[in-house]
């Protein structure tokens, strides 16, 4: 009888070594995803009436802010572990980054920059909103090579093998959803369906959070808020807030258009 084979091979987290230093696939995918996201922003900026050179400045300021906040967010909700071994707090090579934290840090720093430059913040965040899910779709494969961010046991044919059992490839579910979300937002924007500034970021936040709520329920390594999965709580709050903001911005846009 043939032993069951996983949908994807069990990965080696090390891509290659340089002078004895292991270079991890996780780092390559995370770095690559960020670079590709900003490249897409750069080439789309001029079409939206924005200065592409600002994209480089945004990258220099927002990437570090996003990484720091992603790590801080993760460490905060795993403080029981990191308080016992503080030396692991800066061990980025072992994984442990929270998407919600990166969004808070990156968008927060961007808003500070836009205010300083007197740039239209909503136009810029709409531009970034198209790139966000593309970067996430690529970056999630870093979780695969780290054998993390997977779900619980399953008999489904696309199960992967991790921690000694066949499990849901939740990283793959999110990667596919984010790729589709990127294509949808790109189509929505390029087809002229965008009607007001801030529309794309609201759609991104609501649709990404919808997926994250359901996929998070399958994961076994979720950060918790008491007895609840924090990503599910944050996702519900984000869906409500983004829908409310969507309605507010649409109403404001209509009022401006109707002024005599």
Q: pLDDT (tens digit, 9 = 90+) per residue, 24-36?
A: 898 899 899 999 9
What average pLDDT does the segment 154-159 reach?
93
Beta bridge partners of 241: none
**pLDDT at 229 > cutoff 90:** no
Length of the chain: 260
CA distance 74 to 90: 12
Question: Within 78-228, where are the H helices?
Answer: 79-82, 99-117, 121-145, 170-190, 199-216
Share of the chain above pLDDT 90, in %: 64
**pLDDT at 93 > cutoff 70:** no
CA distance 71 to 35: 19
What average pLDDT does the segment 52-60 reach?
94
Chain-wide mean pLDDT for the chain? 90
**pLDDT at 193 > cutoff 50:** yes
What average pLDDT does the segment 53-76 reach?
90
The pLDDT value given to residue 1: 38
Nearest to residue 173, comparing CAs of 131, 210, 128? 210
**pLDDT at 260 > cutoff 80:** no
| Residues whose CB is less than 8 angstroms from the CB of residue 174 and which lie 6 or more positions away in sequence, other chains included | 136, 137, 140, 211, 212, 215
pTM of the model: 0.88
């Amino acid at each position: 009888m043939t032993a069951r084979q996983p949908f994807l091979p069990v990965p080696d987290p090390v891509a290659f070594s340089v002078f004895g230093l292991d270079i991890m696939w996780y780092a390559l995918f995370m770095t690559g995803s960020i670079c590709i996201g900003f490249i897409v922003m750069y080439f789309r900026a001029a079409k939206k009436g924005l200065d592409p050179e600002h994209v480089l400045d945004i990258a220099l300021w927002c990437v570090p802010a996003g990484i720091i906040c992603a790590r801080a967010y993760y460490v905060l909700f795993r403080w029981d572990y990191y308080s016992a071994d503080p030396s692991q707090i800066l061990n980025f090579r072992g994984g442990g980054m929270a998407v919600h934290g990166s969004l808070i840090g990156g968008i927060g720093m961007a808003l500070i920059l836009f205010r300083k430059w007197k740039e239209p913040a909503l136009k810029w965040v709409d531009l970034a909103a198209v790139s966000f899910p593309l970067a996430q779709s690529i970056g999630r494969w870093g979780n695969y090579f780290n054998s993390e961010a997977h779900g619980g046991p399953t008999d489904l044919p696309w199960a992967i093998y991790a921690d000694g059992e066949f499990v849901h490839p939740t990283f793959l579910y999110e990667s596919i959803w984010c790729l589709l979300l990127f294509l949808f937002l790109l189509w929505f924007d390029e087809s002229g369906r965008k009607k007001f500034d801030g529309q794309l970021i609201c759609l991104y936040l609501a649709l990404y959070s919808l997926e994250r709520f359901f996929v998070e329920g399958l994961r076994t390594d979720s950060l918790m808020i008491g007895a609840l999965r924090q990503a599910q709580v944050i996702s519900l709050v984000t869906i409500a807030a983004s829908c409310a903001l969507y309605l507010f911005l649409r109403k404001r846009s209509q009022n401006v258009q109707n002024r005599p």
